[in-house]
Amino acid sequence: MKLEHDLQELIMATTLVLIEVQCIDHCISGSAILHKVLQENDFPEAYPLTVGVKIVNVSHTDTGIMLGKGTEPMPGMWPGHLVVVVPEYNDDDHLLIDLTLGQVNGKVEGIEVEPFVGKVDNNFIHGLLPARCTANGCKLTYEGFPNDDSFRTETNWSNVKGLDQAVEMVTERLS
C-alpha cells in the first residue's frame, strides 16, 4: 500500500522508537505513543480502536492465532488489542495502523508478522463487518469494537511512562 511519504516516515520512526523503549509488544503503550505522535504531526483526527485479530498462515490454514478481543486474556491483562485509525485517509477509506501485531511472533509455528498498515472501510470502523487482508503469508481478519474504550482505564494508556520522551524521540528521528 502506498502511503504519503510523510506518514510512512512517521510510522517507521514511531516503530523504531517503540522497539527502543520496549513497547513494540505492548499494544496500549504502543498505541498511546503512536496516537500522540499522529495528533502532533498533521493527523489530529487519529484515534485508538479496540480490535480482535485472527491471524492464519495462508499455506497452513490449520495454523493460526487470535489476539485481543474475543480471546481469553492472560490474568491481569486487558482483554483486547489496540490499534490506531486515521479516518478518511483516502476519500472514504480509513487507515488502520497496528504497530504491535508482531507480539504474536514465535508463539505459533508459521506465524511471523510485521507491523501492519492497511485500509479499512466504514463497515469495519462501525463494527459492522470485519476487515480482511493478507500480509507476510498470513491472512489477517480484524474485527473492530468502536464502543469498547475500556483501554482508557488501563495505566498503560492513562499514564504511559515516558510518553512525552518517546514522542520527542520520534520527532528527533524525523528532523
Which of 172, 159, 175 shows the shortest CA–CA distance to 33? 159
pLDDT for the residue 1: 44
Using one digit for the tens of pLDDT, what is the confidence trace for 111-140?
Answer: 999 999 999 999 999 999 999 999 888 999
Q: Are 74 and 155 in contact (CB under 8 A)?
A: no
Using one digit for the tens of pLDDT, what is the confidence trace for 151-160?
Answer: 999 888 877 6
Using one digit for the tens of pLDDT, what is the confidence trace for 53-104?
Answer: 999 998 887 889 999 987 777 777 888 999 999 998 877 789 999 999 999 9
Residues 6+ apart with CB under 8 A from 62: none
Q: Which residue has the cell 486487558?
A: 78
Query: Architecture of domain 5-174 in CATH?
Result: Roll (3.10)
> pLDDT category, 150, cuts 50, 70, 90?
very high
Q: Hey, where are the domains in the chain? A: 5-174
pTM, two decimal places: 0.91
Q: Are 169 and 21 in contact (CB under 8 A)?
A: yes
- pLDDT above 60: residue 2: no
Residue 91 per-residue DSSP state: T
pLDDT for the residue 161: 67
